[in-house]
């Protein structure tokens, strides 16, 4: 994918060079898999012939690691989740403030924009604006697990050996909510948070027996779910929507404790070299006609006004099958991760992985 885009870019560059017009600028995107569909990249390059787009696919952790390794160089636009900006900036100084005047913020859903701004403002400077949002929650095969509705159901002996989860921070938070705790509130008191983590770890170690395997990526999760080897799992909503397409019994289930909502953002790496091109890309993908293209590739909802209506038809159906308005009101947005929490959570996850629970 990356290669193809590069090739396309290269060809465009040679064509331009031979035509002798304006010299080409490169926009180096560091983003999630499927967040730069080829169709959209081509469209962008047609509209701005002097910009070549280079895409590197990654995830939250690797984005930060990559930018940390270079002090924020090597990429012109990054797309970490909104909770991964504040602490990373404080600790590693890898982003630079945005010039909001160059972004068409009027199209953005005000609630999401304000939320992200509040989360990523340091010394009065805003470091990120929202792009798309989605949730982490549960998915279940209705024909075999019709009353699946809580994070705690993953550990229900009724589904012994038939459930799965990813051993990452989402499941720690979900389990904490299911135990009646509010982990986000405890971020301000890390000792208290450690206490919650310990309880969660005990619960999840006890639960190991119930789990078939920890999934590592969308592919193995999909395979287990489609083959019927598991009947329910912790999941990303987009994965669940894709499976709904293939088997309408498999639906995304917002847990009764509230689905965990994330917002992927736009942020400028500190040593980015093509800010103007980056702003052009941001405004470009937020245009209504492009939002639908993007959402059909990512399965996530754009953070623009009426984003849900701009979803392609099949995704809209899947979302409507999963969410009621009450579910949307019940969303728990990931809170900013203060420094040190990743380390505590990482250690807890290692503890769970190493424990012998079955």
Partner 1 sequence: MQNKDIKRLSLILLFAPFALWILLLIILPHIGMVLLSLREKIAPRVYEYSFANYLDFLNEPIYWNTLLRTGSMSLLVTALALLIGFPIAYYIAKIAGPRARGGLFLLCLIPLWVSDLIRAFGWILLLRETGVISNFLMWTGLTGQPIEFLYNDAAVIVGLVYTVILFMIVPLVSTLDGMDNSMIEAGYNLGGNSFTVLRRIIIPYAMPGIVAGCIVTFMLTAGSYLTPILLGGKNSSWFTEQIYNQFITRFNWEGGAAFGMLLLFFTSLVVWLGLKLSGQTLANTVAKS
- Is 71 a binding residue for partner 1 by CB under 8 A? The answer is no
Nearer to partner 1, 214 or 236 (CB): 214
Give the Cα separation of 112 and 301 in Å (integer): 12
Least gap, CB of 168 to partner 1 (angstroms): 8
With b for 16 or more beta-carbon neighbours within 10 A and e for fewer, the 105-135 pattern comes to: bebbbeebbebbbebbeeeeebbbbbbbbbb
Nearer to partner 1, 3 or 354 (CB): 354
Contact with partner 1 (CB under 8 A) among 93, 206, 245, 309: 93
Give the Cα separation of 139 and 291 in Å (integer): 25
Could you give the C-alpha distances from 182 to 170, 222, 249, in angstroms and in order? 13, 30, 32
Least gap, CB of 142 to partner 1 (angstroms): 20
β-pair partners for 52? 26
**Tokens representing 357?**
């629970």
- Is 326 a binding residue for partner 1 by CB under 8 A? The answer is no
Least gap, CB of 345 to partner 1 (angstroms): 8
- Is 339 a binding residue for partner 1 by CB under 8 A? The answer is yes
- Is 197 a binding residue for partner 1 by CB under 8 A? The answer is no
Judged by CB under 8 A, the number of residues near partner 1 is: 38
What is the residue whose two structure tokens read 């990559």?
66
Give the Cα separation of 89 and 113 in Å (integer): 19
Least gap, CB of 165 to partner 1 (angstroms): 10
- Is 220 a binding residue for partner 1 by CB under 8 A? The answer is yes
Contact with partner 1 (CB under 8 A) among 65, 100, 110, 158: 65
Contact with partner 1 (CB under 8 A) among 202, 223, 248, 309: 223
Nearer to partner 1, 127 or 214 (CB): 214
Nearer to partner 1, 142 or 168 (CB): 168
Contact with partner 1 (CB under 8 A) among 43, 208, 242, 256: 208
Say how many C-beta atoms besides its own lie within 10 A of residue 249's C-beta: 15
- Per-position x/- string for 150-179, each x denoting binding to partner 1 as judged by CB under 8 A, each - no binding: ------------------x-----------
Q: Is 51 exposed, middle or buried (0-12, 13-18, 19+ CB in 10 A)?
A: buried
Stretch that binds partner 1, among 58-66, 97-105, 121-129, 132-140 (CB under 8 A): 58-66
Q: Which of 243, 237, 203 is nearest to 222 (CA)?
A: 243
For residue 5, what are the contacts with CB-CB under 8 A and spacing of at least 6?
36, 38, 41, 53, 54, 55
Say how many C-beta atoms besides its own lie within 10 A of residue 19's C-beta: 9
- Is 229 a binding residue for partner 1 by CB under 8 A? The answer is yes
DSSP string, 1-14: -HHHHHHHHHHHHH
For helices 341-354 and 169-178, angle between their N-to-C axes, nearest 10 degrees: 90
Nearer to partner 1, 12 or 176 (CB): 176
- Is 91 a binding residue for partner 1 by CB under 8 A? The answer is yes
Residues making contact with partner 1 (CB under 8 A): 61-62, 64-65, 68, 88, 90-93, 168, 208, 211-214, 216, 220, 223-224, 227-229, 339, 342-343, 345-347, 349-351, 353-358
């Amino acid at each position: 994918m990356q290669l193809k885009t590069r090739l396309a870019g290269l060809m465009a560059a040679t064509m331009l060079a031979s035509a002798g017009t304006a010299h080409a600028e490169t926009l180096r995107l560091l983003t999630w898999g499927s967040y730069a569909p080829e169709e959209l990249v081509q469209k962008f390059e047609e509209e701005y012939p002097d910009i070549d787009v280079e895409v590197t696919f990654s995830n939250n952790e690797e984005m930060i690691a990559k930018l940390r390794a270079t002090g924020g160089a090597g990429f012109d636009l990054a797309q970490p989740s909104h909770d991964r900006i504040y602490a990373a900036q404080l600790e590693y100084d890898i982003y630079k403030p945005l010039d909001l005047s160059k972004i068409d913020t009027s199209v953005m859903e005000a609630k999401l924009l304000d939320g992200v701004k509040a989360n990523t403002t340091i010394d009065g400077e805003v470091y990120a604006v929202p792009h798309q949002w989605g949730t982490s929650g549960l998915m279940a095969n209705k024909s075999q697990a019709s009353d699946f509705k809580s994070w705690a159901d993953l550990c229900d002996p009724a589904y012994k050996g038939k459930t799965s989860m990813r051993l990452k921070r989402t499941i720690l938070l979900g389990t904490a909510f299911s135990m009646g705790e509010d982990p986000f509130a405890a971020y301000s008191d890390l000792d208290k948070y450690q206490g919650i983590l310990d309880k969660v770890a005990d619960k999840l170690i006890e639960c190991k027996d119930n789990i078939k395997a920890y999934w590592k990526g969308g592919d193995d999760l999909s395979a287990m779910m489609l083959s019927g080897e598991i009947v329910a799992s912790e999941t990303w909503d987009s994965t669940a929507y894709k499976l709904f397409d293939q088997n309408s019994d498999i639906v995304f289930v917002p847990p009764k404790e509230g689905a965990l909502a994330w917002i992927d953002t736009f942020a400028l790496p500190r040593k980015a070299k093509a800010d103007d091109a980056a702003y052009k890309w941001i405004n470009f993908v937020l245009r209504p006609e492009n939002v639908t293209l993007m959402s059909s590739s990512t399965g996530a909802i754009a953070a623009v006004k009426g984003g849900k209506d701009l979803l392609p038809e099949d995704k809209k159906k899947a979302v409507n099958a999963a969410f009621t308005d009450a579910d949307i009101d019940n969303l728990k947005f990931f809170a900013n991760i203060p420094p040190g929490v990743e380390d505590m959570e990482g250690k807890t996850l290692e503890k769970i992985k190493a424990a012998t629970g079955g």
